[in-house]
Amino acid sequence: MNANPGNELREFISQYEVRVGDIPTAICLQVYRRRSDGKLLIEQSHFIKTGIQYLPYAVSEFQGLDETAAVSQLKKNILGFYEQAVRRGYAPAESWLVPNSNFQEL
C-alpha cells in the first residue's frame, strides 16, 4: 500500500521499529503528515499476514489521532494478529511479514 498516492506533499515526522514476537525481521514504520489536510500517514516496511488472515493487514491513514496514538494503535493491531495466530496453534514464521514493495528506506 502506498501512503503517498499522486506524490502529494507530506512532511516526515518520525520513524519507529517494531519487533513482532519471535520473528527476527523488524517492521519499520515511517510517520508522515499530509500537508493538504493534516492527516497522519504511516508507511510500513512489512505487513503482517498470519495463518488466520486472508489478506495482509495494511493501514496507512489515521484520522483524528496524534502520532503517539496512531503508532500505538498500529503496533497493537499488528501484535494482536500475531498473538491470535499463536494462541490458535500457528508457529510464528518469517513468512508472516510480507514486504511492502512501495516502502522506501530513509
- Give the integer Cα–Cα distance in Å for 44 and 58: 8
Q: How many domains does the chain have?
A: 1
Specify if 69 maps to a domain: yes
Q: Which helix (H) or strand (E) holds 47?
A: strand 46-48
Predicted structure pTM score:
0.86
Specify if 104 maps to a domain: no
Specify if 62 maps to a domain: yes
User: Which candidate, 45, 38, 40, 36, places its Cα nearest to that of 18?
Assistant: 45
Specify if 13 maps to a domain: yes
CB atoms within 10 A of CB 63: 9
- Give the integer Cα–Cα distance in Å for 10 and 94: 31
Host domain of residue 43: 5-99
pLDDT tens digits, 5-47: 557 899 999 999 999 999 999 999 999 999 998 889 999 999 9
pLDDT tens digits, 87-105: 999 999 999 999 999 999 8
Specify if 106 maps to a domain: no
Specify if 37 maps to a domain: yes
